[in-house]
Amino acid sequence: MASAQGSLFPDASGPSLRDVADAIRLAGIDGLTEAHRRSDQAKYQEVHVKSALNRAQGMPFKWALNPYRGCTHACEYCYARKYQQHLELDAGDQFSSVIFVKTNLPQALAREVRKASWARETVAIGTATDPYQPIEGHYKLTRQAIEILTNAKTPLSIVTKGPMIVRDADVLAASRDAAGCAVHMSVPCVDEEAWAKLEPGTASPAQRLRAVRYLVDAGIDTSVLMMPLVPGLTTSRSKIEETLLAIRGSGARAVGANVARLDPAVREHFFRFLQREYPALLPGYERLYVKTSPPRDYVDAIKATFADTRARVIGPGARAVPGFGPPSADATKTYS
C-alpha cells in the first residue's frame, strides 16, 4: 500500500468501507489507487472495519462474520453480488474482481468476544463471501477468526467452496472440542459443464468433495449443501442423483438443497449470463422469476425430487441440513 503521507485515505489506520465507497463514487474503480492487483487480476483493497460480527435475523445462527467482501469464485447465481452495489460497484464483474480485505477483523473480533456481555452464540463464517477464496492463503483472516472464537469458547459454522479449508483442520478440531463447529461444503452439482459455466472461479466439485472426505476423516462435522439448484441447468433428476452419488462417496454427514433465488441486481446479472450462454432458457426464466423466487409449487416439486432421490441414494435416514438457504431481502445487514 502507499504510505499514509500522500495517501488517498489519510487515516493511517486504513480506510473504512464507507471511505472506499466515496472514493469509487468520485473516480470509479480507478479511484482505488492503493489497491493491490494480484496474479488472478482481481484488485484487493484493504479496509478497516468497526466490528467483525453482524447480527443475523431469521437464520439458524445468531451472528455472521465475513472476512472479505466480493468473491473471486464468481458464481453467476451468487446472492451476495447485490451487496457490492452498497459500495458503488456493480453486481457483475466488479463483484469478483474487486475484493475488500478486512485486515483488522481479528482485532475487532477479539474486542467483541472479550466483552462480558458476549453470550457465545453461534457465529456463521462466510454468509456473503467465501472465507476460503484464494486470497485467504495470504491473509489468513478466516484462520485467525476461528482461533479467536475457539479461545472465546464460541461455536461456529463455515460455508465454503474452497478446498483450502483442509489447511485449517487443526484449528477446526480445536474449535470442535472447545465449543462445537460445523462445516458446510457447497457442491451444487458435479456436472462438469454446469460447474465450468456457473462457478468459473471455483475448485472442481471433485476437489471439494475430497476436502469433505479429509475433514470427515479428521473428525470434523462436515455436510454438503447442493445450493443453489439452478432451474434447467442442475435440477433434473439425473443431475441430482449423479451429485448425490458423489456426495455419498465423500462421507458427508448431511446433505441439503434449495432452489436459486434471484434478487434484484443478481437477477439482471444472471439473465445477462443466460443470454450469453443459454439463450434458449431465457424465456422460461422470465416466466419463472417474476419474483425473486420461482412459484411455490415449482420449488416444492424440485425439493420433492431432491428429498426422494436423497432417500434412495443415501438412505432413508439421510440427515438434512436445517434452515440453510439464501437470506431474505431484509436481512442485508447480516451479510455485508
What are the residues binding ligand SF4 (CB under 6 A)?
Answer: 71, 73-75, 78, 80, 129-130, 161
The residue among 150 and 222 lying less far from ligand SF4, judged by its C-beta, is 222
Contacts of 158 (CB under 8 A, 6+ apart): 124, 125, 126, 131, 142, 146, 165, 172, 181, 182, 183, 184
C-alpha cell at 224: 454438503
End-to-end CA distance of the chain: 24
| Shortest Å distance, C-beta 74 to ligand SF4 | 6
- Cα–Cα distance between 161 and 184 in angstroms, integer? 9
| Shortest Å distance, C-beta 163 to ligand SF4 | 12
The residue among 130 and 263 lying less far from ligand SF4, judged by its C-beta, is 130
Residue recorded with cell 440427515? 319
The residue among 176 and 208 lying less far from ligand SF4, judged by its C-beta, is 208
- Cα–Cα distance between 142 and 126 in angstroms, integer? 9
Chain Cα centroid distance, residue 104 = 20
- Cα–Cα distance between 137 and 164 in angstroms, integer? 8
| Shortest Å distance, C-beta 110 to ligand SF4 | 25
| Shortest Å distance, C-beta 119 to ligand SF4 | 27
Q: What Rg, from alpha-carbon coordinates, does the chain have?
A: 20
The residue among 136 and 152 lying less far from ligand SF4, judged by its C-beta, is 136
| Shortest Å distance, C-beta 130 to ligand SF4 | 4
The residue among 14 and 126 lying less far from ligand SF4, judged by its C-beta, is 126
Contacts of 72 (CB under 8 A, 6+ apart): 40, 42, 96, 97, 99, 133, 134, 135, 201
Q: Residue 24: enclosing H or E segment and its boundaries?
A: helix 17-27
Residue recorded with cell 474482481? 97
| Shortest Å distance, C-beta 308 to ligand SF4 | 26
The residue among 143 and 176 lying less far from ligand SF4, judged by its C-beta, is 143
| Shortest Å distance, C-beta 219 to ligand SF4 | 25
The residue among 200 and 315 lying less far from ligand SF4, judged by its C-beta, is 200
Name the 3-class secondary structure at 124: strand
Closest among 136, 127, 41 to 80, alpha carbons compared: 127
